[in-house]
Structure 1
Amino acid sequence: IRTFTTKSFHMCPIPNPNNCTPGQDPTESPDRLCEDGQLINSNISRKTHILILATTRSGSSFVGQLFNQHTDVFYLFEPLYHVQYTLIPKMTPSKSTTDRRVMLGASRDLLRSLYDCDLYFMENYIKPQPINHTTDRLFRRGASKALCSPPVCDALGPTDIYLEEGDCVKKCGSLNLTLAMESCKEHVHVAIKTVRVPEVNDLRALVEDPRLNLKVIQLVRDPRGILASR
């Protein structure tokens, strides 16, 4: 799995010997990824998509806040909570392989949409269903600086620079997902923090997606420290 690569992924525009590695037949797989030659970059915007991946009590919230404080970063805190909250009650008690695939597929689809600034996709999992793309049920909205700042929230003044998470929800009111999408598109990078991806291998489809410029930050902590922190 090419998870931690410094090179962005590219695609051959057409099966052409000039675009691919010497000695390979370009007609074998027109859609395959190529390493050498003239390439077309599929991630046109060159946004950097950052995924902070960890288990609980491993410092992911702290690392996420480092990105959250940067003005170029649109940060989301645990959006996969909504997938888990919606799908787990529908699963069998044994949590079969099929159930796990459903959860994994839904999580990957949501992450892909959020990296593309499509926040409407999240409405499939927010309960109750948002009305007119407006909701007050987004999990930990106040943990995202972008969702508590203009144009998403115009209720805050110059003295609200160091706003507590709960105060953001009280002062800003319901979240307009349309404004949140516009804010996301204006930012240079998108960062998402989650503890709800059980295995790095589950991210393979996202890592190899040429439309993304995904960078994964995996945090690992001594399990003794995790137990001691509870």
Structure 2
Amino acid sequence: MQCSWKAVILLALASIAIQYTAIRTFTAKPFHICPVPNPLNCGLGQETEAFERICDEYPYFTYNVSRKTHILILATTRSGSSFVGQLFNQHSDVFYLFEPLYHVQTTLIPRLSHSKSTADRRVMLGASRDLLRSLYGCDLYFLESYIKPPPVNHTTDKLFRRGASKALCSPPVCDVFGPSEVNIEEGDCVKKCSTLNMTLATDSCKERRHVAIKIVRVPEIGDLKALVEDPRLNLKIIQLVRDPRGILSSRIETFRDTYRLWRIWRATACPHDCRKVPHRS
């Protein structure tokens, strides 16, 4: 009997130790949570130095505690990406940007287009990747480095296709259109909203729960891996694929000067069957 009650006590102590370990495991804060409080991402209270080190690389970006979802619409030109992007653009809680990499392309490619240097190419690839990461963190000031001429006092009228973004044509960015005006024409936005205040645009981005970006100018798809694997972004990619014959036919009609020789070939030397390819679909 003496062995029995000792064994019971040992089992009880072992059970308590196991339960304590389990409770500590499930209630401990995950290491990858960033300690920067944010209205959208929940304040995290008192943090340790270990937690702070994980956010040093991108101090403007808070961890996605509430699983804030970001969307990247990836396609080639004339594949339907503008249409899909507008589906997200209509949502009141989505901050949508149309082709922000246009500015990287126009700034860096003229200088690097004839360069065969690997280092020069990596500059362009890294710039595109870092700009996307910054925009998903609502750091629109990062974009100013590529806008020509440079914004003055964080205001510019040179943002590419600014009118394609409903968020950039609505309060607080632009007070011309009221909340009841749902269908804002791109041209009306550019004409009536005047210059774009990047500070107000940044505030608008932070107020919305999701960021959607549409691009056709990604230099190398492999460079998106770092963005997809970043737990702070919670990035979802929508890749659009279209029949290349339809893409070419649409480009021939849309970019008539660029594809002038193609149009001549299709009208003269092209076999009869290839002339039946629809211009748009």
TM superposition score normalised by structure 1: 0.79
Amino acid at match of 1:178: T
Residue 201 of structure 1 corresponds to 222
Residue 27 of structure 1 corresponds to none
* Alpha-carbon offset, residue 211 of structure 1: 1.4
Paired with 2:123 and 2:231, the residues of 1 have a C-alpha distance of 23
Structure 1 alignment gaps of length 5 or more:
1-10, 15-30, 32-40
Evaluate the alpha carbon distance shift between residue 56 and residue 106 of structure 1 in structure 2; reply closer, same or farther with a 3 A threshold: same
* Alpha-carbon offset, residue 159 of structure 1: 6.8
Residue 179 of structure 1 corresponds to 200
Evaluate the alpha carbon distance shift between residue 72 and residue 92 of structure 1 in structure 2; reply closer, same or farther with a 3 A threshold: closer
Paired with 1:195 and 1:52, the residues of 2 have a C-alpha distance of 8
* Alpha-carbon offset, residue 12 of structure 1: 5.3
- Is 1:102 aligned to residue 102 of structure 2? no
- Is 1:226 aligned to residue 247 of structure 2? yes
Which residue of 90, 93, 115 maps to 2:136?
115
Compare relative contact order (CA 8 Å, sep 6+) and give the higher one, 1 or 2.
Answer: 1
Residue 24 of structure 1 corresponds to none
Report which of the two has the higher share of helix.
2
Paired with 1:58 and 1:213, the residues of 2 have a C-alpha distance of 25
- Is 1:78 aligned to residue 99 of structure 2? yes
1:46-67 CA-to-partner distances (Å, cap 9, x unmatched) read: 2211100011111000000000
Residue 211 of structure 1 corresponds to 232
- Is 1:151 aligned to residue 145 of structure 2? no
Evaluate the alpha carbon distance shift between residue 99 and residue 151 of structure 1 in structure 2; reply closer, same or farther with a 3 A threshold: same
Paired with 2:180 and 2:208, the residues of 1 have a C-alpha distance of 23
Evaluate the alpha carbon distance shift between residue 90 and residue 198 of structure 1 in structure 2; reply closer, same or farther with a 3 A threshold: closer
Corresponding residue SS for 1:163 = coil
1:6-28 CA-to-partner distances (Å, cap 9, x unmatched) read: xxxxx9529xxxxxxxxxxxxxx
Residue 163 of structure 2 corresponds to 142
Paired with 1:78 and 1:95, the residues of 2 have a C-alpha distance of 26
Residue 46 of structure 2 corresponds to none
Evaluate the alpha carbon distance shift between residue 199 and residue 220 of structure 1 in structure 2; reply closer, same or farther with a 3 A threshold: farther
1:190-225 CA-to-partner distances (Å, cap 9, x unmatched) read: 000000114432201111112111001111111111
Contact kept in structure 1, 2:125 and 2:220, CA below 8 Å: no
Give the alignment's Cα RMSD to 1 decimal.
2.1
Evaluate the alpha carbon distance shift between residue 225 and residue 95 of structure 1 in structure 2; reply closer, same or farther with a 3 A threshold: farther
Corresponding residue SS for 1:47 = coil
Structure showing greater radius of gyration is: 2
Contact kept in structure 1, 2:170 and 2:179, CA below 8 Å: no
Corresponding residue SS for 2:71 = strand
Paired with 1:88 and 1:67, the residues of 2 have a C-alpha distance of 29
Evaluate the alpha carbon distance shift between residue 69 and residue 92 of structure 1 in structure 2; reply closer, same or farther with a 3 A threshold: closer
Contact kept in structure 1, 2:170 and 2:178, CA below 8 Å: no
Evaluate the alpha carbon distance shift between residue 92 and residue 152 of structure 1 in structure 2; reply closer, same or farther with a 3 A threshold: closer
Corresponding residue SS for 2:138 = coil
Residue 13 of structure 1 corresponds to 31
* Alpha-carbon offset, residue 162 of structure 1: 1.8
Corresponding residue SS for 1:168 = helix
Contact kept in structure 2, 1:92 and 1:99, CA below 8 Å: no
Higher alpha-carbon deviation: 140-149 or 200-209: 200-209
Which residue of 140, 145, 150 maps to 1:124?
145
Structure 2 alignment gaps of length 5 or more:
1-28, 33-52, 54-61, 252-281
